[in-house]
Amino acid sequence: MLKKARITVAFLISTQLVGCVNLGVQPWERDLLAKEEMALDSEGNDLGLDDHIYFSKEATSGGRAFAGGGCGCN
Amino acid sequence: MRQFLLSLLVIHISFTPLSLSFAQEMAAPDFAISNAQLPNKLSDLKGQVVYLDFWASWCKPCRKSFPWMNQMQHKYAGEGLQIIAINLDTEAALAKAFLDKVPAQIPIVYDPKGKVAKGYELLGMPSSYLIDKKGKIRFAHKGFFTRTEPLYEQELILLLNEKE
Amino acid sequence: MKKKLNISAALASATCALLHPYASANEMLEGWKIDTSLMYYGETDRVSAVEAVIAGQKDFGEEQLLSGKIVIDTLTGASATGAVAQLTAQTVSRPSGEGTYTVSPGETPLDDTFKDTRVQLDGQWTQPWSDVSRITTGLHLSTEHDYYSLGFNGSYAHDFYNKNTTLSAGLAYSYDVIKPEGGLPVPFATKTASINTSEDYDDNEDDESEDDDDDNDNYDNDERLGSSDNKSTVDVLFGLTQVMNRRMLMQFNLGFSEISGYSTDPYKVLSIVNEQGLTQSLVYENRPDSRTKTFAFWQTKYALDFGVVDFSYRFATDDWKVDSHTFDSRLRINLTDSSYLQPHFRYYNQSAAEFFHPFLMEGQVLPEFATADYRLGEMSAYTFGLKYGTKMDNGDELSFRLEYYQQSPKNAGFTEPGTLQDVDLYPSVKAVIAQVNYRF
């Protein structure tokens, strides 16, 4: 199961990267990234509540940090 | 000695926050304008001070920049200031929705494919360029902050007072 | 607009009062973005919780951000004690020593004295450091009747390549005090009043008469180490956010944690069973007083024409030998310009801690550390959820979320002696989560 998981993740990462030869965009091409739903912390309350549930019921905690992305303004 | 002064200049420039002052004056890249209120191309505006502002509907600080630009245009139009707002939305409809909420008393030029923006090598959104009467870029700003409004106004006055 | 301010004033005044008690509510609330949530979490026959969150954020202009959060939650119901189920009824004492309760045959022993209310406060301030970097500092406070936590955190973020790449580093420190009901148990000390009755279970009343003598003091007959202890946690986090293209954003985080101090759960026990699988006694558990954890987290967000795909994977490992994998995915489907539907799927699995034992065998030497808490055992879990959100004309957003969470503990390779083979030592835990959010 663990081995399968690792292979799946490696595959997913590589398929994502194949489509990106030049990483990044020009400042005026951030229209989609500027959308609220594209922010990494767009559902702050949900993520916080979920983290609390899973921290209480499982042995692992943590993971997310919220820097980067967005409209890149200022 | 010369190298020392040059490195001092480079260090000074790299530490200048928010506004980049070009050590050498760069000629403003020319582009065609299709707006009834303006001449056919940027270079036709030589003799006037031009403030070029690159904006988009999804850019939050742009909401603050428009009222200030409207104010500056009214104040200094008589002295030869022309502010032009260049829109970079991929769809004009989005820009129009923004303008319905944030009225603009300055002419808008549409650059949906970013061709003009590329020429100006924008570093962020919004970006503004102050072009003197000779057609050279003298000041470039990345972003818009209300606290720097007086500074930008000083730069406008400086350029307006120059002779052609 | 007026209505909006009144709601803000009513709900967020609690937050603002703490910061500046004498400022007028309206003045304080201008420019605040408030996100409120009310959540119900209910397990079948076990724990239920109701949690309320008020989170606020204010942009002071020039990239300075203040954010705060208040969380209040109440927990009720019963949770597994760690003792094994038996074919006959069992009588177990409560942690506080106040009375006993009876567990019916075949049932997993649950302790029902968990009625607790917790209040949590978080505050955070972000300040630009240069035109391409920011520093953030934060404070965290949490209090409940038997647990207190105080924490500080700080992080630095730097943008590169026109903000296409952001690197961040953060540090957090937390100091927790645990003051369990009934005091700290001695590791592996026998928990008194655990009697196997061979009579059929036909009495619904809890037997409280036996413990009348102990009502006067807070401790039961068990020996205690003291009334409270503490634990410190240091977290280090490194993050990289990268814009891949116009539609895609990725984040990679690497984190390390060092925990030292009291990590045992003072309410959990292990059953000592004989070769026939019959419980002889219950002993308190014991966990190591240090834990070093590492995790790697990767998340991707992709903007589709009709919504957003959000996928993340986290791998975690520690020196307690708990390894876990978490896959979390959300698909936002925009129904109209102002409403959306978002299905959610999460899969989790973990390996058992090195010192996890579902029970201990009579006559064998006691290990240094042992726990039967299923949350440190081998298990997999999945969550299925659906969220619906709608934006109103005034810009406020209302959303509803309904989720189903199932945990399936597994046998990590322990042979069950005698009658233990006939009981379920690894029951599934099923929970429903229902939540409503209002953002303005």
| C4-38: pLDDT as tens digits | 444 444 444 444 444 444 455 555 566 889 999 99
Q: State how far residue A51 is from chain C, nearest Cα, in angstroms.
A: 12
Banded pLDDT at A8 (limits 50, 70, 90):
low
Banded pLDDT at C112 (limits 50, 70, 90):
confident
Residue B87: HSE in the Cβ half-sphere, 13 Å Cα cutoff? 24
**Chain A residues whose beta carbon lies within 8 Å of the beta carbon of residue C55:** 44-45, 48
Considering chain C, what is the average pLDDT of its residues?
85
**Chain C residues whose beta carbon lies within 8 Å of the beta carbon of residue A51:** none
| C397-423: pLDDT as tens digits | 999 999 999 999 999 889 999 888 888
Kindly write down the DSSP assignment for every residue of C160-225, as one continuous string.
ETTTTEEEEEEEEEEEEEE--TT-EEPTTPEESS-EE--S-----S---GGGGGGGGSS--SS-EE
| C190-243: pLDDT as tens digits | 886 544 433 333 343 344 333 333 333 334 456 678 889 999 999 999 999 999
Judged by CB atoms closer than 8 Å, whether chains meet at A31 and B90 is answered as yes
- Identify the pLDDT of residue B14: 45
Banded pLDDT at C366 (limits 50, 70, 90):
very high
Longest dimension (CA), chain C: 76
- Identify the pLDDT of residue B20: 47
DSSP state of C372: -
- Identify the pLDDT of residue B126: 92
Q: State how far residue C253 is from chain B, nearest Cα, in angstroms.
A: 25
**Phi and psi at residue B71, in whole multiples of 5°?**
-60, -45
The percentage of chain A sitting over the pLDDT mark of 90, rounded to a whole number, equals 32
- Identify the pLDDT of residue A41: 85
Judged by CB atoms closer than 8 Å, whether chains meet at B143 and C131 is answered as yes
Instruction: Please check whether residue A52 touches C, CB under 8 A.
Output: yes
Judged by CB atoms closer than 8 Å, whether chains meet at B125 and A31 is answered as no
Interface test with chain B among A25, A26, A28, A30, by most B beta carbons within 10 Å: A28
More confident residue, C251 or C207: C251
**Chain A residues whose beta carbon lies within 8 Å of the beta carbon of residue C35:** 44-45
Query: Is the pLDDT assigned to residue C2 strictly greater than 60?
Result: no
Neighbours of chain C (3+ CB pairs under 8 A): A, B
**Chain A residues whose beta carbon lies within 8 Å of the beta carbon of residue B126:** 73
More confident residue, C289 or C91: C289
Q: State how far residue B140 is from chain A, nearest Cα, in angstroms.
A: 13
Closest-CA residue in chain B for C163?
B124
Instruction: Please check whether residue C352 touches A, CB under 8 A.
Output: no
Judged by CB atoms closer than 8 Å, whether chains meet at A68 and C251 is answered as yes
- Nearest-CA neighbor of C377 among C320, C418, C419? C320
AA letter at A29: E
- Identify the pLDDT of residue C116: 85
Chain pair A-C, CB pairs under 8 angstroms: 175
Instruction: Please check whether residue A46 touches C, CB under 8 A.
Output: yes
Q: What is the mean pLDDT of residues C71-96?
A: 85
Q: How far is it, in rounded angstroms, from Cα C245 to Cα C241? A: 12
Judged by CB atoms closer than 8 Å, whether chains meet at A31 and B58 is answered as yes
Architecture in CATH for domain C32-439? Beta Barrel (2.40)
| C98-109: pLDDT as tens digits | 677 888 888 888
- The number of helix segments (H) and strand segments (E) in chain A equals 2, 0
**Chain C residues whose beta carbon lies within 8 Å of the beta carbon of residue A60:** 293, 295, 314, 316, 322, 324, 326, 348, 350
Instruction: Please check whether residue A34 touches B, CB under 8 A.
Output: yes
Compute the radius of gyration of chain A from its Cα atoms. 16
Q: pTM of the predicted model, to two decimals?
A: 0.82
Judged by CB atoms closer than 8 Å, whether chains meet at A28 and B117 is answered as yes
Q: Closest CB to B122: pick one of A27, A31, A34.
A: A27
- The number of helix segments (H) and strand segments (E) in chain C equals 2, 27
Q: Where are the domains of chain C?
A: 32-439
**Phi and psi at residue C209, in whole multiples of 5°?**
-65, -30
Contact C359, C271 (CB under 8 A): yes
Query: Is the pLDDT assigned to residue C64 strictly greater than 80?
Result: yes
Q: What is the mean pLDDT of residues C165-177?
A: 93
| A15-35: pLDDT as tens digits | 554 444 468 899 999 999 999
| B15-26: pLDDT as tens digits | 444 444 444 578
- Identify the pLDDT of residue C407: 96
Judged by CB atoms closer than 8 Å, whether chains meet at A29 and B60 is answered as no
b/e per residue, C285-323, with b = 16+ CB within 10 A?
Answer: bbbbeebebebebbbbbbbeeebbebbbbbbbbbebebb
Instruction: Please check whether residue A60 touches C, CB under 8 A.
Output: yes
Banded pLDDT at C380 (limits 50, 70, 90):
very high
Q: State how far residue A39 is from chain B, nearest Cα, in angstroms.
A: 13
Q: State how far residue C389 is from chain B, nearest Cα, in angstroms.
A: 21
Q: How far is it, in rounded angstroms, from Cα C244 to Cα A16? A: 9
Q: How far is it, in rounded angstroms, from Cα B132 to Cα C151? A: 54
Residues 10-39 of A with CB under 8 A from C: 12-13, 16, 19-20, 23-27, 29-33, 35, 37-38
- Identify the pLDDT of residue C17: 43
| B32-69: pLDDT as tens digits | 998 888 889 998 988 899 999 999 999 988 888 999 99
